Amino acid sequence: MTAARAPIRLGMVGGGQGAFIGAVHRMAARLDGHYDFCAGALSSDPARALASARELGLGADRSYASYTDMVAGESVRHDGVEVIAIVTPNHMHFPVSKACLEGGFHVICDKPMTVTVEEARELRRIAEASGRILAVTYNYSGYPMIRQAREMIERGDLGRLRVVQGEYAQDWLSENLEESGQKQAAWRTDPAKSGAGGCIGDIGTHIYHLISFVTGLEAEAICADLSTFVGQRKLDDNAHLMLRFKGGAKGMIWASQVAVGCENGLQLRVFGDKGGIVWRQENPNELIFSPLREAPRRITRGGHAAGDAAARLTRVPSGHPEGYIEGFANIYTEIAAAIFAAREGKPVDERVVYPAGADGEKGVAFIEAAVRSSAAGATWVKIPAAIGEGLR
């Protein structure tokens, strides 16, 4: 490996003991060998941060008691981190991302990028001024068969799009789990940490992004009915939404965390005047394509019918399953390509695609519009458009 291709030095804020998504980020970063995890402020509790660092093999000098200490400490090291992954509860995304960008680091932020549209726009302005990468881990866009679906729609295989249906159903909050002290449930149901959206912000924003990513459609209005079914929970745990897209297409989203029997039921259906496609995250290695007046076709990851976009992100031959970690790793690898290009002063390969700051802003605008619509009695409200480009 040449010096120019030395692994990208990765730091992390959050993701220590008791966290879920931090471990996923670290696995995703390791999979293709592009990153070296070497520093962290892994908890807001300094003792837990240090204990977490020791468990993960970080030296005491690379474990920080706070994200501000980390930004200050890493910025003066000759071997300081280049990019910082932010895997904290939602309310910390903005201040931590802001500090990291202003400190000269690239940022990979978990979704939703911020808790308000104003914060999202400010963060994008800071990223643009700093010349640093601001990426958001809408990780389902990393699945090869999602790239296949996107390629087919861009090519016109479905014709003019008419109807899009997205669904994301889970059951893990069907009981009042937050009262047991379970960490993941506690902060996700707390508006002070999660923001204005509960289920709609945690998983609804994933399917909303996936719809935009695959179809290229831009939603302009939303009608949302957000419900809270469990106890005295302060945020929604179920959401039914209708969408109107520019150009006339219509959409529907159901997101729920109280759908008993559903584990991670993310699925997407897109229908045009020439055909339709169906993809299910729990069986992610296949895409069902139904051309008009023809029998449905099963397109598999790594199979003969898969195109170039899917092949780029496929690691092993067909029949060997790839799943959640590999899809997440694809996002990290696409971001790595952009960071390597920035290191070398070269343009990014035009095939490289990852969710960027504008996509983060769109996700927050979606959450805010959904909350606004539901509060007004499920009326139609406009979704403000993000300024500038989305996906890199």
Secondary structure of 75-91 in HEC code, one letter for each residue: HCCCCCCCEEEEECCHH
Q: What is the DSSP letter of 171?
A: -
Coil, strand, or helix at residue 228?
coil
- List the one residue out of 167, 14, 83 whose CA is nearest residue 335: 83
Distance CA 194, CA 352 (A): 31
**Is the Cβ–Cβ distance between 26 and 15 less than 8 Å?**
yes
pTM for the model: 0.95
Distance CA 374, CA 368 (A): 10
45, two tokens? 């509790």
**Is the Cβ–Cβ distance between 336 and 34 less than 8 Å?**
yes
- A 10 A CB-CB count for 18 gives 12
pLDDT by 10s per residue, the chain, length 392: 344 589 999 999 999 988 889 999 999 999 999 999 999 999 989 899 999 999 999 999 999 999 999 999 999 999 999 999 999 999 999 999 999 999 999 999 999 999 999 999 999 999 999 999 999 999 999 999 999 999 999 999 999 999 999 999 999 999 999 999 899 999 999 999 999 999 999 999 999 999 999 999 999 999 999 999 999 999 999 999 999 999 999 999 999 999 999 999 999 999 999 999 999 999 999 999 999 999 999 999 999 999 999 999 999 999 999 999 999 999 999 999 999 999 999 999 999 999 999 999 999 999 999 999 999 999 999 998 876 555 55
Distance CA 248, CA 234 (A): 35
**Residues 123, 90, 92, 324: what is their CA dihedral angle, to the nearest 10 degrees?**
-90
Domains along the sequence of the chain with CATH = 3-139 (3.40.50.720), 144-316+357-382 (3.30.360.10)
Instruction: Give CA 362 to chain center in angstroms.
Output: 12
